[in-house]
Amino acid sequence: MQTHQFPTHFIESLAQEPGFDRDSFIDTHQNSALLTSIRTNPFKKTTHKTGEQVPWCAEGLYLDTRPSFTFDPLFHAGSYYVQEASSMFIAYILKYIKADEAVKILDLCAAPGGKSTLINSAMTADDLLVANEIIKTRVPVLADNLSRWGTANTIVTNNDPKDFARLHGFFDIILVDAPCSGSGMFRKDPAAMDEWSEANVKLCHQRQERILTDIYPTLAEDGYLIYSTCSYSHQENEDILDWLCDEFELETVRIPIDSDWGIVETESPLKKAWGYRFYPDKVKGEGLFASVLRKRESTDNLVSFKNNRNQKVDITGLEMVKAYVNQPASYYFFKVNDDWLAINNQHKESLNLLQHHLYIKKSGVRIGKLAGNDLIPDHELALSIMVNKEAVLQTELTYDEAIAYLRRDNISNNTTNKGWSLMTFEGQALGWAKLLPNRMNNYYPKELRIMTSPPPKQA
C-alpha cells in the first residue's frame, strides 16, 4: 500500500471534529484498498452487474474488482454510472424529502454529472431537473452523462450562481455540492493533498457563502436546500450550517439513518443544525458531508415569463420526427436551428422561462435533423428511453463488434437490411449506423469514441 503523507496540520485540524478517530483514519488511508462502486440506471434495466448493495441507495452496488469500464459497452450505453458510494447518500435524502407532487430540482454545481443522474433516477416525468455547471469546459461531459441516462426531463445550463437570482422562488429542491478543499478525496486522489491548506479551507468557506447567498432567492417557500461537500473541515460544513441558519430563514431537517451504516450524525455548535459525516474508516465509501435545510421565508413575486408565440414548424417534418419517438403525444417538439428536440409536455413553460433567463446548453433530447424525406437521427435519441424501437432497425452486436463500433472501426455488414439502424449490445442501444448494401457507415460520435485498444484477452 502507498504511504500517504498528510498535509502539515491536517490531522491536528480534525482532532475535535465529530466522530473523528485519528488512528483508525490514518490506518484506513495507508492500509485499506480503494472501493469500486457503481449505480445502475433504473430506466435501462440490466442484470450485467452484481455485487453488494450500497445500504443507502437501492441502485448502488459495490464491485468485487474494478473492471475496465472503458471497454464495457454497457457503460457507454448508460446502463450504469461509476460513482463513489458515499455520494449516493443524496438519493436517500431525496427519497425522504421529495413530495409526491411534481417538483423542479436544481443541481447547481453539477459536472461531471454523478449527482445529476442520481437525482434524475429519483424523478418522474412530471419532475424537472436543471443541471448547471459554472465552468464552461466541464459542461460537455455533464451533458453527455445526462444523455446516456436517457430521459427528456433534464436541462443543462452554464451559468454563474448569481444568474439564478432572476428565477425567484422557482426551484423546490436545490442541491449545492459545493466546491471545497477536497480532503474527503485524499484516499482516492492522493494528489489532492498537495492542494490542501488551512488558507484554502478559509477561501473555500468564503466561496461557499457567496454561492449560497446567490442561489438562496431561487428556492421556493418550504423548499429544501441540500448542502454537501467532500471535505472534513468544520469551517466548510457545520460552520456553514450555522451561517445559513443565522443569515436566512432556514430550519434544519433531520434525516433518519441506520446506525449500522457507520454515518456520523452531527449538530452545528450554535444552531444545532443536523449534518451527516462519512469517514472511510467507518463507512464503505470516501469522505462526505451532507445536510438538509428547509426554507421558511415567504416567497413573493414569483418569476414569470409567458411566451405566447408558438414556434412555426413544418407539419410534415414534425410527423416524420414523431415516428422515431415512443408515445410522441407525451412530448413538446421544437427546433433549435436545424435540429429537432423534444421535452416532456409538462416542461414547455419552464423551458421557455429558462431560455429567457439562462444560457442553455442542452434541453430534453435532441432527435435529429431532416434531410429531404429522411431524418438523420441524433446520438441523444439513440441513448434515450423515448426512441421508438419498433419503428427502427436494430442490429445486435457481439462484444468484439460493440467495441469496434465504439472505436468507430469498420464492421462487416452481413444483413440485407438497409437504412438507419440502432446498434445494440445485450439489448442496450449504443448509437446509430447507416446500413448500405455493401458496407455500414458508423455514426458513433467522433468525440466520444474509444481512443485506445482493448487489452489482450486472457488465454
What residue numbers does the annotated binding site cover?
A: 109-115, 133, 160, 177
Identify the three-state secondary structure at position 261: helix
Position 368, amino acid: G
In our burial notation (b when 16+ CB lie closer than 10 A, e otherwise), range 358-393 reads bebbbbbbbbbbbeeeebebbbbbbbbebbeeeebb
Closest CA to 346 of 123, 29, 68, 127: 127
Measure the CA–CA gap between 107 and 178, rounded to whole angstroms.
10
Find, among 77, 34, 82, 41, the residue nearest to 59 by Cα.
41
Find out whether 112 and 83 touch, Cβ atoms under 8 Å.
no
Nearest to 304 by CA among 358, 237, 243, 356: 356
User: Catalytic residue at 230?
Assistant: yes
Angle ∠(184,189,192) on CA atoms, nearest 5: 75
User: DSSP class of residue 457?
Assistant: P
Q: Which residues pair with 434 in a beta bridge?
A: 420, 441
Give CA angle at 222 (216, 226), nearest 5°: 55
Q: Which amino acid is at 455?
A: P
- Reading phi first (left if > 0) and then psi (alpha if -120 to 50, else beta), residue 421 is in beta
CB-CB contact of 76 with 406 (8 Å):
yes
Helix H or strand E encompassing 1: none
Q: What DSSP character marks residue 101?
A: S
Selecting among 57, 204, 230, 245, the annotated active-site residue is 230
Binding site residue list for S-adenosyl-L-methionine:
109-115, 133, 160, 177
Question: Taking the CB of residue 320, how many other CB atoms lie within 10 A of it?
Answer: 17
Q: Answer yes or no: are the C-beta atoms of 433 and 397 closer than 8 Å.
A: no
* 85 three-class SS: helix
Give how far Cα 111 sits from Cα of 134, 172, 191, 362, Å: 9, 21, 20, 13
Active site residues: 230
